[in-house]
């Protein structure tokens, strides 16, 4: 059984990746589980460690925009405009891949998911590498994405040799995934960059094909219902009725304590009502509240603005698991 070490050594991270190992890397959104994106043998280890179905493709992480666009056959004008504005940053673009990209990265699809992450240590590592990093979130399949090295270790301990410690993730919610259909820009996964920001950048409306909000088939297979759910049953606070027993229940709120729950059973995402700060805390709150072994957890939705929409999307998915 291998020991999982946590450290900040880029040289060690590079040495492991160069020898086809997988390691966890920090990004500004959530921690990733990374392998050499040109090496199918290393990529296979990601699927095995996460217990992820082989049909679910991976995002490639690049050091800069030009090396990302070199790996695709078409770059629409809007993609260029968005890259200029949001890369490095939490935006993932689906574009037609060159043949050189291994099928194990894209699970046989024609498009590859590209992003240039914003995390300093992650970029410093990418600078030293001769290849992009294939990386899904560093959680076991269907579990909560990790936003700290400790969360990664909790789920992947002994399955990976190294976690590159870049502290707590700045954003706390995964990247926004977009694609291009004819002239339209479509959001496939709500994420850290809001729809409003994307629309302001390209000066036009974008579409949304997110399974929760439309009946269309989702393109990104990871957007299944049961993603992002803690083990403890989770319900919307709006589902709580007068007289419901709540002694052994937790409450995750936005900025105000709930009078019906003991204070020690509550977690406020942002005491001063800041949605970005709340997003950063969301998955951590799931981890912490899950560990308290409540009989159930009630949670409150955030205001539907900016990143609040992506936070609410993750809350809906977490709740859905126990309401279907
Ligand atoms: O913020 C993030 O995006 C994080 C960090 C580590 O970069 N990564 C992440 O990866 O969330 P993952 O694998 O947990 O979620 C990526 C989603 C999955 O739902 C996957 O199905 C979809 O992107 N995806 C990846 N490549 C795709 C492709 N070629 N076509 C369609 N969907 C794709
Ligand atoms: Mg994931």
Cβ(135) to ligand 1 under 6 A? yes
pLDDT score at 239: 86
Q: Identify whether the C-beta of residue 160 lies closer than 8 Å to the C-beta of residue 22.
A: yes
> What number does the ligand 1 atom closest to the CA of 221 have?
21
Task: Say if residue 115 is in the same domain as residue 246.
Answer: no
CATH number of the domain at 305, please: 3.40.50.11030
Q: What is the domain range of residue 149? A: 5-208
Cβ(106) to ligand 1 under 6 A? yes
For a pocket test of ligand 1, which of 32, 59, 111 has the largest count of ligand atoms closer than 8 A to its C-beta? Answer: 59
What spacing in Å lies between the alpha carbon of 265 and ligand 1's midpoint?
Answer: 33
pLDDT score at 229: 78
- Nearest residue to 122 via CA among 156, 166, 78, 82: 166
83/66 Cα distance (integer angstroms): 10
Residue at 152 is within a domain: yes
CATH number of the domain at 182, please: 3.90.870.10
Task: Say if residue 187 is in the same domain as residue 241.
Answer: no
Burial of residue 245, with CB atoms counted within 10 A of its CB: 0-12 exposed, 13-18 middle, 19 or more buried: exposed
Cβ(29) to ligand 1 under 6 A? yes
Cβ(109) to ligand 1 under 6 A? yes
Cβ(173) to ligand 1 under 6 A? no
Instruction: Take atom 19 of ligand 1 and give the residue whose Cα is closest.
Output: 222
Task: Say if residue 181 is in the same domain as residue 266.
Answer: no
The total domain count for the chain is 2
Full-model pTM: 0.95
Mean pLDDT of each 10-residue bin along the chain, 324 residues long: 92 98 98 98 97 95 98 98 98 98 96 98 98 97 94 94 98 97 95 97 96 56 61 92 83 96 96 97 96 96 96 94 74
What spacing in Å lies between the alpha carbon of 58 and ligand 1's midpoint?
Answer: 5
Task: Say if residue 18 is in the same domain as residue 154.
Answer: yes
pLDDT score at 320: 86
pLDDT score at 270: 98
Task: Say if residue 202 is in the same domain as residue 316.
Answer: no
Cβ(26) to ligand 1 under 6 A? no
55/281 Cα distance (integer angstroms): 30
């Amino acid at each position: 059984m291998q020991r999982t070490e946590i450290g900040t050594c880029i040289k060690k991270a590079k040495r492991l990746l160069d020898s086809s190992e997988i390691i966890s890397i920090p990004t500004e959104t959530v921690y990733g589980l990374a392998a050499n994106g040109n090496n199918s043998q290393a990529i296979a280890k990601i699927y095995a460690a996460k217990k992820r179905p082989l049909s679910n493709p991976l995002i490639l992480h690049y050091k800069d925009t030009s090396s990302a666009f070199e790996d695709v056959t078409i770059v629409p004008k809007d993609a260029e405009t968005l890259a200029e504005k949001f890369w490095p940053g939490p935006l993932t673009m689906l574009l037609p891949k060159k043949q050189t990209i291994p099928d194990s990265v894209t699970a046989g699809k024609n498009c590859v998911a590209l992003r240039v992450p914003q995390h300093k240590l992650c970029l410093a590592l990418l600078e030293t590498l001769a290849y992009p990093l294939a990386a899904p979130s560093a959680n076991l399949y269907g579990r909560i994405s990790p936003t700290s090295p400790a969360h990664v270790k909790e789920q992947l301990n002994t399955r990976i040799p190294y976690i590159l410690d870049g502290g707590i993730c700045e954003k706390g919610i995964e990247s926004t995934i977009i694609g291009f259909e004819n002239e339209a820009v479509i959001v496939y996964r709500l994420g850290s960059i809001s729809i409003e920001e994307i629309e302001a950048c390209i000066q036009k409306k974008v579409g949304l094909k997110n399974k929760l909000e439309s009946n269309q088939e989702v393109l990104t297979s990871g957007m299944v219902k049961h993603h992002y759910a803690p083990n403890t049953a989770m319900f919307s606070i709006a589902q709580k009725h007068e007289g419901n027993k709540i002694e052994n229940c937790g409450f995750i709120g936005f900025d105000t304590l709930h009078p019906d729950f003991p204070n020690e059973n509550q977690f406020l995402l942002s005491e001063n009502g800041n949605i970005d700060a709340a997003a950063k805390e969301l998955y951590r709150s799931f981890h912490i509240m899950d560990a308290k072994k409540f009989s159930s957890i009630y949670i409150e939705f955030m205001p539907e603005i900016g990143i609040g929409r992506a936070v609410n999307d993750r809350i809906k998915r977490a709740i859905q698991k126990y309401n279907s």
